[in-house]
Structure 1
Amino acid sequence: MDSLHTAGIRFAEALQAGPPWLEKFWISVTSLADPKCVFTICFPLAYFLDRKVGVSVLWIGLVSEWLNVVLKWFLFGERPFWWVHESGLARKQLVTLRQFPVSCETGPGSPSGHCMITGAALWPLVTALTALASRHSRSLVVKLSPFSAYVLLLLAVGLSRIFVLAHFPHQVVGGILTGAVLGWGLQGHTPATRTLGFFVAAGLALLLSSLVLHSLVITAGIDIDWSIRLATKWCSNPSWLRLDTRPFASISRDTGSALGLGLAASFSLPRGGRLDPWQRLASALLALVAIQVLHRFLQPTDVTLWYGTNFFKYAIGPWLVTFLLPRLVLSLTPPRRSPHTD
């Protein structure tokens, strides 16, 4: 593995040696492709495009993120920003690498969560857009444009993760392939049961299975927090270490989102409360703003309290998107008149 890691370090050096203007581009890409964005941006936009697609994006996102955490616990993937020091490569050879505020991920590195979760969650959206393009155009270029954009996006995300020293190339490739397979496989298995009980049970299953696996690994004498210690040791700036990069931050997000889907299933818009295109657009914009405000509000420093607050935020998000904000838009816009009213 050392030769594979060394080759990855040299590839990262080549990327960082590129034109200076590319630095902002790579950092922007890696920030926009953060798995959190699946829940806070992709889900609202997909939901107001098509309800089933939106639910599928959120469901696949939370399942694939849970799987990513489990894989990271058992694959023990290194991250470049600490491996280059722990391996002694930085002492033996000249290495010119820089860290960035988004470099200091605290979980294990394999496979890339950015690539795996984004690739899986966007699959139903890409499929829906491909079907829409096929219905409205006979051009092969138009039909293939959603999938082409999907491939280019994942390629850019992968390169950005290598650039910021969060992942090695083989971890990026593994994340992309795993994400695409998961998206394809889970797309047809989005829960048809829209009940609170089902999603509460799903959230509990994700939480309890994570706790059991975590306990089993510790019982086996494995140091499961090794990556947090290495990240803390080798991060250039302690303020760059974030709680939301820890494995249980993902678990709290996933279980909260599962509960949020259950809450969304328990509420419905009033009879005849279907949104027209302009109302969908207004609801989508409101949802994006409201969720960003929600996630900037309440940032406790205590770890346990932070996890609880994180769970609450992701539980309330789907309810805001699917019920509260559309109802608000319906109440603020005049009812549509029937063309036969006169």
Structure 2
Amino acid sequence: MDALYTASVRFATTLQSGPPWLEKFWVTVTSLADPKSIFTVFFPLAYFLDRSVGVSVLWTGLVAEWLNVVLKWFLFGERLFWWVHESGLASTEPIALRQFPVSCETGPGSPSGHCMITGAALWPLVTTLTALASTHCRSPAVKLAPFGTYVLLLLAVGLSRIFVLAHFPHQVVGGILAGAALGWRLQAHTPVARTPVFFMATALALLLGALALHRLVIAAGIDIDWSIHLATKWCTNPAWLRLDTRPFASVCRDAGSALGLGLAAGFPLRQGQRLDYRQRLAGAVLALAAMQGLHRLPQPANVTLWYVTSFLKYTAGPWLVASLLPRLVLLICPWSSFHIE
């Protein structure tokens, strides 16, 4: 395994030796592909494209992220930015590697969450766009464009994660394959028409399931916070260590989003209410603005309170997007003749 890790370090060194403009590109890609973007950007956009697609994107994303946390707890994957020091390689070879503000992830490294969660959550959106392209255009290039973009995006995300020293190449490959497989599998099992009770039960199961697995690992005599200790030890700048990269932050995000879907399911639009294309566009813009504002609200420094407020934010998000904002759009933008049948 050390030989694989050493080869990966040299590959990361080669990536970082590229031109300065590439550095900005890789850092931007890894920032935009943060799993949070599934909840705050891709879900609102997909929802106002098609309700069922939006729910599928969010559902697939939260299930994939929860499974990613579980896999990381049991696979104990190293991260490149700390392994190069822990292994002693940095002291025996002249290695010129740089960390970035997005490098210091605190959870275990295998598989890559950026690749796995993004790959899974975008699968329903890509297949929908492919179907639309096939329906309205005969050009093979246009028909293949959504899937081609999906593949190129995942490759770019994977390389960006190696560039910032957050992952080894095999962790990236594993994340991409797991994400695509999950997206394909879960798309057909999206609970679009479920009751609020189903989503609330799911939120509780995700939260209690993660806590139970956490206790199980501790009972087995394993220090489940080992990765946090290493990240804290080897991160160049302590300010780059973020609570939202911890595994339990992901669990709060997933459980909160599931509960938010339940709240939205409990307050649906009235029978016959629908949005036309202009209202959908207005709704998408409002949803993006609302989600960005919501998640930029300051959170307390206390770790427990931080988790609680994070849970509440991600609970509010789906309710805003799928329940409140469509009503607001129908109220302030009454353009459609399809309000109430």
TM range, smaller chain: over 0.9
Deviation string for 1:62-82 (max 9, x for gaps)? 000000000000000000110
Mapped to 1, the partners of 2:202 and 2:334 lie a distance apart of 39
Letter in 1 for 2:81: F
Q: Label 1:335 to 1:15 Cα distance change in 2 as closer, same or farther (>3 A).
A: closer
Computed over aligned residues only, the root mean square deviation of the Cα atoms, in angstroms, reads 1.0
Letter in 1 for 2:304: T
Asked if the contact 2:116–2:177 (Cα under 8 Å) also holds between the matched residues in 1, the reply is yes
Give matches, 1:29-48, under 5 Å: 29-48=29-48
TM-superposed deviation, 1:325: 1.1
TM-superposed deviation, 1:126: 0.3
Asked if the contact 2:117–2:179 (Cα under 8 Å) also holds between the matched residues in 1, the reply is yes
Deviation string for 1:25-80 (max 9, x for gaps)? 10110000000000000000000111101000000000000000000000000001
Mapped to 2, the partners of 1:5 and 1:110 lie a distance apart of 13
Matched, 1:73 2:73: yes
Mapped to 2, the partners of 1:230 and 1:289 lie a distance apart of 36
Deviation string for 1:83-119 (max 9, x for gaps)? 0000000011111000000000000000000000000
1:310 corresponds to: 310
Instruction: Please identify, of 270-279 and 314-323, the stretch whose mean Cα deviation from structure 2 is larger.
Output: 270-279
Deviation string for 1:261-284 (max 9, x for gaps)? 000101122444311101100100
Query: What is the SS of the residue equivalent to 1:179?
Result: helix
Which segments of 5 or more consecutive residues in structure 2 lack a partner in the other structure?
none
TM-superposed deviation, 1:329: 1.3
Give matches, 1:263-274, under 5 Å: 263-274=263-274
Mapped to 2, the partners of 1:193 and 1:323 lie a distance apart of 14
TM-superposed deviation, 1:298: 3.0
Query: What is the SS of the residue equivalent to 1:279?
Result: helix
Mapped to 2, the partners of 1:201 and 1:65 lie a distance apart of 18
Mapped to 1, the partners of 2:132 and 2:274 lie a distance apart of 21
TM-superposed deviation, 1:157: 0.2
Give matches, 1:104-183, under 5 Å: 104-183=104-183
Asked if the contact 1:249–1:307 (Cα under 8 Å) also holds between the matched residues in 2, the reply is yes
Mapped to 2, the partners of 1:172 and 1:334 lie a distance apart of 47
Matched, 1:249 2:246: no
Asked if the contact 2:275–2:336 (Cα under 8 Å) also holds between the matched residues in 1, the reply is no
2:16 corresponds to: 16
Mapped to 2, the partners of 1:206 and 1:335 lie a distance apart of 41
TM-superposed deviation, 1:193: 4.1
Query: What is the SS of the residue equivalent to 1:189?
Result: coil
Identity across matched positions, percent? 75
Asked if the contact 1:5–1:168 (Cα under 8 Å) also holds between the matched residues in 2, the reply is yes
Letter in 2 for 1:126: V
Deviation string for 1:153-203 (max 9, x for gaps)? 000000000000000000000000000000001110111442110001111
Asked if the contact 2:79–2:166 (Cα under 8 Å) also holds between the matched residues in 1, the reply is yes
Paired residue total: 338
2:275 corresponds to: 275
Q: Label 1:335 to 1:19 Cα distance change in 2 as closer, same or farther (>3 A).
A: closer
Which segments of 5 or more consecutive residues in structure 1 lack a partner in the other structure?
none
Length-normalised TM-score, structure 1? 0.97
Letter in 2 for 1:138: R
Asked if the contact 1:298–1:309 (Cα under 8 Å) also holds between the matched residues in 2, the reply is no
Deviation string for 1:282-329 (max 9, x for gaps)? 100000011111011131110000000000000010110011111111
TM-superposed deviation, 1:335: 5.0
Letter in 2 for 1:296: R
